[in-house]
Amino acid sequence: MAFHGVVGFVGLDDLSLDLASSLLRSGYRVQAFETYEPLINEFLKLGGTRCSSPKEAGKDVSALVLLTSQADQINDATSGLQNNTVLIFNSTMLPLYIKNLQTCFTADYKPAYVVDVYAMKAVSDSLNGKIMIASSGSSNAILKARPVLSAMCEKLYVFEGEVGAGSKIKMVKELLEGIHLVASLEAISLGTKAGIHPWIIYDIISNAAGNSWVFKNQVPQLLKHSKGAPKDHLPDTLVQKLGVILNLAKSLTFPLPLLAVAHQQLILDGNTDDQDATLIKVWEKKLGVKISDAANAETYIPEQLASHIVAKSDMVKRIGFIGLGAMGFGMATQLLKSNFCVLGYDVYKPTLTRFANAGGLIGSSPAEVCKDVDVLVMMVTNEAQAESALFGDFGAISALPSGASIILSSTVSPGFVSRLDQRLQNEGKDLKLVDAPVSGGVVRAGNGTLTIMASGTDEALKSTGSVLSALSEKLYIIKGGCGAGSGVKMVNQLLAGVHIASGAEAMAFGARLGLNTRMLFDFITNSEGSSWMFENRVPHMLDNDYTPLSALDIFVKDLGIVTHECSIRKVPLHVSTIAHQLFLSGSAAGWGRQDDAGVVKVYETLTGVKVEGKLPAVKKDFVLQSLPAEWPLDPIGEIQKLNQDTSKTLVVLDDDPTGTQTVHDIEVLTEWTVESLIEQFRKSPKCFFILTNSRAMSSDKATALIKDICTNLHTAAKSVQDADYTVVLRGDSTLRGHFPEEADAAVSVLGEMDAWIICPFFLQGGRYTIGDIHYVADTDQLIPAADTGFAKDAAFGYKSSNLREWVEEKTAGRIPASSVASISIQLLREGGPDAVCEHLCSLQKGSTCIVNAASERDMAVFAAGMIKAELKGKQFLCRTAASFVSARIGIIPKAPILPKDLGINKERNGGLIVVGSYVAKTTKQVEELKLQCGQILRSIEVSVAKVAMRSAEEREEEISTAAEMADIFLAAQNDTLIVTSRELITGKSPSESLEINFKVSSALVEIVRRITKRPRYILAKGGITSSDLATKALEAKCAKIVGQALPGVPLWQLGPESRHLGVPYIVFPGNVGDSGALAELVKSWARPIRFSTKELLLNAEKGGYAVGAFNVYNLEGVEAVVAAAEEQQSPAILQIHPGALKQGGMPLIACCISAAEQASVPITVHFDHGTSKQDLVTALELGFDSVMVDGSHLSFTENVSYTRFITFLAHSKGLLVEAELGRLSGTEDDLTVEDYEARLTDVKQAQEFIDETGIDALAVCIGNVHGKYPASGPNLRLDLLKELHALSSKKGVFLVLHGASGVPKELVKGCIELGVRKFNVNTEVRKAYMDSLSNSKKDLVHVMESAKQAMKAVIAEKMILFGSAGKA
Which amino acids are annotated catalytic? Answer: 489
The secondary structure of 354-379, three-state, reads HHHHCCCEECCCCCHHHCCCCEEEEC
CA-based angle 1229:1234:1239, to the nearest 5? 105
Give the whole-angstrom CA distance, residue 744 versus residue 758: 14
With b meaning 16 or more CB within 10 Å and e meaning fewer, what string describes 493-506? Answer: bbbbbbbbbbbbbb
Distance from the first to the final alpha carbon of the chain: 73
Residue 688 CA, distance from chain mean position: 27
Query: How many Cα atoms sit within 13 Å of 1352 on the Cβ side?
Result: 18
Give the whole-angstrom CA distance, residue 1231 versus residue 1234: 10
DSSP string of 1355-1366, one letter each residue: HHHHHHHHT-TT
Query: How many Cα atoms sit within 13 Å of 1290 on the Cβ side?
Result: 11
Give the whole-angstrom CA distance, residue 601 versus residue 688: 55
Beta bridge partners of 879: 729, 758
Sequence-distant (6+) residues with CB within 8 A of 644 are none
Distances (CA, A) of 770 to 623, 852, 926: 9, 5, 31
C-beta of residue 932 within 8 angstroms of C-beta of residue 1076: yes
Q: Rounded to the nearest 10 degrees, what angle do helices 414-425 and 484-512 cross at?
A: 160
Phi, psi of 540 (to 5 degrees): -65, -40
SS3 at position 776: strand
DSSP summary character for residue 754: S
Q: Is 796 exposed, middle or buried (0-12, 13-18, 19+ CB in 10 A)?
A: buried
Q: Rounded to the nearest 10 degrees, what angle do helices 302-311 and 458-471 cross at?
A: 90
Give the whole-angstrom CA distance, residue 668 versus residue 690: 6
Single-letter code of the amino acid located at 608: G
C-beta of residue 986 within 8 angstroms of C-beta of residue 945: no
C-beta of residue 248 within 8 angstroms of C-beta of residue 171: yes
Phi, psi of 285 (to 5 degrees): -65, -40
1045: left (phi over 0), alpha (psi -120 to 50) or beta: alpha
Give the whole-angstrom CA distance, residue 395 versus residue 366: 5
Quickly list H helices, 1085-1180.
1093-1103, 1115-1128, 1138-1158, 1173-1180
Residue 979 CA, distance from chain mean position: 21
DSSP string of 425-461, one letter each residue: HTTTS--EEEE--EES-HHHHHHT-EEEEEBS-HHHH
Sequence-distant (6+) residues with CB within 8 A of 604 are 508, 610, 611
C-beta of residue 345 within 8 angstroms of C-beta of residue 368: yes
Give the whole-angstrom CA distance, residue 1062 versus residue 1081: 19
DSSP summary character for residue 673: -
- A 10 A CB-CB count for 923 gives 18
